[in-house]
Amino acid sequence: MEISNKTIVVTGAGSGIGRELTFQLLKKGARIAAVDLNEKTLEETIQLAGENYKDRVSKHVLCITEKAKVELLPEEVIKAHGSIDGIINNAGIIQPFIKINDLSYETINRVIDVDLFGPLYMTKTFLPHLLKRPEAHIVNISSMGGFLPVPGQSIYGAAKSGVKLMSEGLAAELIDTNVHVTVVFPGGVETNIMTNSGIDPDKIKQMDAMKEKSKALSPQKAAETIIKGMEKNKVRVYVGKDSKMMNLFYRIGPNSATKIIAKQMKFLLD
């Protein structure tokens, strides 16, 4: 997909990868409808984008789990920019590092609502508009945990694997249309998703130490990789060496890969 002069909706634009996607897409000539639940951080993104882009970015404070509000969003975007050419379903949360046996249904429902139903609501709502465009694109952010089991993130993984299969199925359904679909599998990326998800501060410190040791990818590099995949109309994009490596490892030896991940994550569940 050619990015220049396209209108793209980015969820989770208030921080992390979503913020970097906004910056880089604007620099490539896109118009951005920036969506986030947190109005303060969303406004920071717009301010940091700079005066040169103020007429090409609009702010939309929205929780993607509220279907009725999501269904009103296309009208707002069209009013601001005149058209809609793409959506990037980036917003997401992880679960506390807790085994399923100890998770509350309230937490389970919240994770599934944000990570699976949110992208579904966005996709269903915007697809009729995208089908009318000469060229359009849907990008859904899954996770390395969407194809590889991670103890303590089983519900998050279930939601993200749902995003994976939904996206791949949608890509097949739209194969003869003007709408392309990309599903993205980030590995370790330096974002504040853990803080935004309400994870215990001690667990965050432990994960930060692990990311430092494994040299987690920057949000800037992650966004760059995602946009390149979008421009090339790739169905699957693996972000980071860890994601690429574990995808191959899991395909070759799923049992061995599962044991290695379980061993690495065990300290977070003790």
Whichever domain contains 247, its CATH number is 3.40.50.720
How would DSSP label each residue in 159-214? HHHHHHHHHHHHHHHTTTSSEEEEEEEE-SB--SHHHHTT--HHHHHHHHHHHHHH
* Whole-structure pTM value: 0.90
Q: Is 156 known to be catalytic?
A: yes
Number of Cβ atoms within 10 Å of the Cβ of 267: 11
Count of structural domains, the chain: 1
Distance of CA 6 to the CA centre of its chain: 20
Containing domain of residue 105, as a range?
Answer: 7-269
- Report the 10 Å Cβ neighbour count for 210: 15
Tens of pLDDT along the chain (270 residues) come to 999 999 999 999 999 999 999 999 999 999 999 999 999 999 999 999 999 999 999 999 999 999 999 999 999 999 999 999 999 999 999 999 999 999 999 999 999 999 999 999 999 999 999 999 999 999 999 999 999 999 999 999 999 999 999 999 999 999 999 999 999 999 998 866 555 445 566 655 555 555 455 568 999 999 999 999 999 999 999 999 999 999 999 999 999 999 999 998 888 886
Assigned domain for 2 exists: no
Give me the catalytic one of 53, 105, 121, 156. 156
Task: For residue 1, tell me if it sits in a domain.
Answer: no
